[in-house]
Structure formats: structure tokens, C-alpha cells
């Protein structure tokens, strides 16, 4: 397997990152995951501009985003992933330096790591829908940054897996924010609601695409908070993300969403989204 580290492609076995890397010591870094279908990346520009924004917000400098843009396609090619679904992971940390909280010397080069893997969407989940659990949103107040510091997300997703659910969805002060690696949408009276862009959620690329599909297909939508107390009244729910696509949610904390089957708006969005993703091949 070939990976990219700092300035070169190399075998994964050769890749070495220092124990003093601030990514390891402090989770001081940002990342992106980009989907590839038959060797073609889905919305790479949006992922790179979000990465640029994350780095700017974290004040990690010294990265020329343009120079990173050739990495994903090369990784896909070098790893024979040009047929079928794959993902490319890119992580940038503040680099290697003695462990001190404040930023290291300005000459410290950021660490850039990227790899590609096969991705296998499970068809049955799209047909039947998935279960979610609700958990308190214990995360920091800059969820708009795609930081590698993901402990609350890890603990919550593990809790979901242990209770037989696909995803954990965070609730802060009675408002449903987003999932551990997905954005959340619910349908009320035929209108799709999803949390507005703010410091409380990651501005998902998939969320953007879903809202574009709503515009194109005249599906009413509003970027408006979904309240936990009103979840029981939701007609449909879905989670959306790069490694999730548009996924129907049919059970929340053991309670069925309506008749426990993916609803019509979810199915419409799921189909349109998949068409769009697989058309990009």
C-alpha cells in the first residue's frame, strides 16, 4: 500500500511519524475524507476549501493547498483503486516539536499524511434504514472545524455500536446538532429541516449536496434547528455524510420513526444523491 507523507509517496511500511508530532501529542491538526468512485473524486474542490478553512481557523500555516490537490488521484492510482468505491484520507498537523502547548517555532513544518482505502457501502442499510441513539453533545464550541480531536465522537459512536445502532446523534440544550461523522436531517409536514451552519456543526459537503438536490427538485427545506422534544413528531429522518451517503434513520433510541420504513423524501434524496455520486465516475 502506498501512502503520502510530507513530500513523497512511499510504501506504508516505510512511513514514519515522530512521537513528538503535535498530531500525536495534542491532536493538533485537521483532516478531510474524500470519496472516490472509479477513480474520480466527488466534490474535491469543496473538501480542499474546507481543509484550507480548518487550517486557517487552527492557525496552521505553511501549507499550499494547491500543491495537495494532486495527492488523492495519485493515491487512488498507485493503490489500484480506480475501479469501484474508495476513500482518501488527508491529515495535516502542526508538525514535530518539543511538547509545549503554545505554537512551536515558526520554522516547524506541518506534517502531511494521506492514504487511500477501499470503501464498501452496505446496500441493505439504504433499503432498510438504520438505528441511531441520542447522546449529550459534550464537544467543544468549534465543531465547524474538521479537527482530528474526535474523542467525544469516538465515545459516542462506540456507545451507538454497543447498543446495536449505526450512529450517535448529539443533542445540545434540547437541539439536535449532528452525528459523530454525519449531519442530521428530519422531515416535518413534508419540509426537510437541518441544523443551520454554525460553530455547533461541521458544514458537511454531503449536507450541501442534499440541500442542492432539494432546490433542484423543489423539496421544501429549512436550515433550522430540530428540537429533541419534537423528534417523535418527525415523519422522516436521515443522516448524511461522505462515508454514509444519504442514509434513512428508522429508529431513535429504540423508538420507531413513523412506520419504521424509509420515507418518501428520504428515498428521493437517497436516489438522487446516489445518481449524482455514481454519475461522477
Ligand X SMILES: Cc1ncc(COP(=O)(O)O)c(C=O)c1O
Q: For binding to ligand X (CB under 6 A), which residues are involved?
A: 33, 178, 181-183, 202, 204-207, 241-242
DSSP state of 228: G
CA distances in angstroms from 68 to 103, 129, 141, 201, listed in the order given: 23, 36, 28, 25
Tell me the CA distances in angstroms from 57 to 47, 78, 139, one per residue in order.
15, 32, 17
- φ, ψ of residue 96 to 5 degrees: the values are -100, 125
Q: Which three-class secondary structure state does DSSP give residue 188?
A: strand
Kindly state the smallest distance separating residue 64's Cβ from ligand X, in Å: 22
Residue with Cβ nearer ligand X (96 or 209):
209
Minimum CB separation from ligand X for residue 276, in Å?
A: 13
Residue with cell 465516475: 281
**Residue 131 or residue 181: which is nearer to ligand X going by CB?**
181
Minimum distance between the CB of residue 4 and ligand X, rounded to whole angstroms? Answer: 20
As given in the structure block, the three cell numbers for residue 88 are 482518501
For 203, the enclosing helix (H) or strand (E) is none
Nearer to ligand X by C-beta: 178 or 251?
178
Please, which residue, 25 or 156, has the CB nearer to ligand X? 156
- Catalytic residue from among 2, 128, 146, 275: 146
End-to-end Cα spacing for the chain: 23
Active site residue 146: yes
Least distance between ligand X and beta carbon 280 (Å): 15
Residues marked active site are found at 146
Amino acid at each position: 500500500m502506498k501512502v503520502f507523507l510530507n513530500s513523497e509517496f512511499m510504501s506504508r511500511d516505510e512511513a514514519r511519524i515522530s512521537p513528538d508530532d503535535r498530531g500525536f501529542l495534542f491532536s493538533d491538526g485537521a483532516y478531510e475524507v474524500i470519496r472516490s468512485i472509479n477513480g474520480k473524486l466527488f466534490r474535491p474542490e469543496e473538501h480542499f476549501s474546507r481543509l484550507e478553512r480548518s487550517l486557517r481557523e487552527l492557525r496552521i500555516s505553511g501549507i499550499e493547498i494547491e500543491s495537495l490537490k494532486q495527492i488523492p488521484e495519485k493515491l487512488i492510482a498507485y493503490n489500484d483503486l480506480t475501479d469501484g468505491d474508495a476513500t482518501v484520507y488527508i491529515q495535516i498537523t502542526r508538525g514535530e516539536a518539543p511538547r509545549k502547548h503554545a505554537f512551536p517555532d515558526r520554522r516547524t513544518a506541518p506534517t502531511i499524511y494521506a492514504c487511500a482505502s477501499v470503501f464498501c457501502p452496505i446496500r441493505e442499510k439504504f433499503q432498510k434504514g438504520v438505528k441511531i441513539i441520542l447522546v449529550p453533545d459534550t464537544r467543544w464550541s468549534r465543531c465547524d472545524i474538521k479537527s482530528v480531536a474526535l474523542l467525544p465522537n469516538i465515545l459516542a459512536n462506540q456507545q451507538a455500536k454497543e447498543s446495536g445502532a449505526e450512529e450517535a446523534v448529539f443533542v445540545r440544550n434540547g437541539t439536535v446538532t449532528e452525528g459523530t461523522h454525519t449531519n442530521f436531517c428530519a422531515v416535518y409536514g413534508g419540509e426537510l429541516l437541518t441544523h443551520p451552519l454554525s460553530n455547533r456543526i461541521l458544514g458537511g459537503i454531503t449536507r450541501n449536496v442534499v440541500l442542492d438536490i432539494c432546490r433542484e427538485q423543489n423539496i421544501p427545506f429549512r436550515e433550522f434547528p430540530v428540537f429533541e422534544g419534537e423528534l417523535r413528531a418527525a415523519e422522516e429522518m436521515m443522516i448524511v455524510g461522505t462515508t454514509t451517503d444519504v442514509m434513512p434513520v428508522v429508529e431513535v433510541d429504540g423508538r420507531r420513526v413513523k412506520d419504521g420504513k424509509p420515507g418518501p423524501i428520504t428515498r428521493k434524496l437517497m436516489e438522487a444523491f446516489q445518481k449524482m455520486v455514481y454519475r461522477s465516475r
